[in-house]
């Protein structure tokens, strides 16, 4: 069973980032297939995060919603505001995100 909820529209995106008080919202932007590592993160941090995913090949304007230029990318929100973005899923930057997610909001 996938760990992420799928975002299929801008209203899904807005609802996701604004409706999860008490947890980070973690959105993975991907092309065609989500990486297994992304699923591992979602499962590992499910107590502190609400994980979502969006396929930017199906939703052309998703990069604009997320303010990114490339996929894969991870964007973390808290209380409707962007906390951090990791374009290209750089491993060292994702380690920083992991530390943040471990602590929770």
Residue-wise pLDDT tens digits, 2-50:
678 999 999 999 999 997 678 999 999 999 998 888 888 889 998 999 9
* pLDDT in the model for residue 51: 94
Phi/psi of residue 102, nearest 5 degrees: -60, -40
The residue behind tokens 């505001």 is: 81
Structure tokens at 57: 């090949």
Using DSSP, state whether 4 is helix, strand or coil.
Answer: coil
pLDDT of residue 3: 79
pLDDT at 41: 85
Which domain covers residue 78, as residue numbers? 5-103
How far apart CA 101 and CA 89 sit, in angstroms, is 15
pLDDT single digits (tens) 44-102? 998 999 999 999 999 989 999 999 999 999 999 999 999 999 999 899 999 999 999 99
User: What is the three-state SS of 46-79?
Assistant: CCCEEEEEEECCCCCCHHHHHCCCCCCEEEEEEC
CATH number where 56 lies? 3.40.30.10
Q: Which pTM value belongs to this model?
A: 0.92
Count of structural domains, the chain = 1
């Amino acid at each position: 069973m996938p760990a992420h909820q799928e975002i299929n529209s801008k209203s899904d995106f807005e609802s996701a980032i604004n409706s999860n008080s008490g947890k980070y919202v973690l959105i993975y932007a991907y092309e065609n297939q989500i990486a297994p590592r992304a699923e591992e993160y979602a499962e590992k941090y499910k107590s502190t995060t609400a994980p979502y995913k969006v396929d930017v090949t199906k939703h052309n304007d998703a990069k604009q919603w997320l303010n990114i230029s490339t996929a894969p990318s991870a964007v973390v929100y808290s209380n409707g505001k962007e906390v951090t973005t990791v374009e290209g899923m750089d491993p060292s930057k994702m380690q920083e995100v992991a530390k943040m997610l471990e602590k929770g909001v």
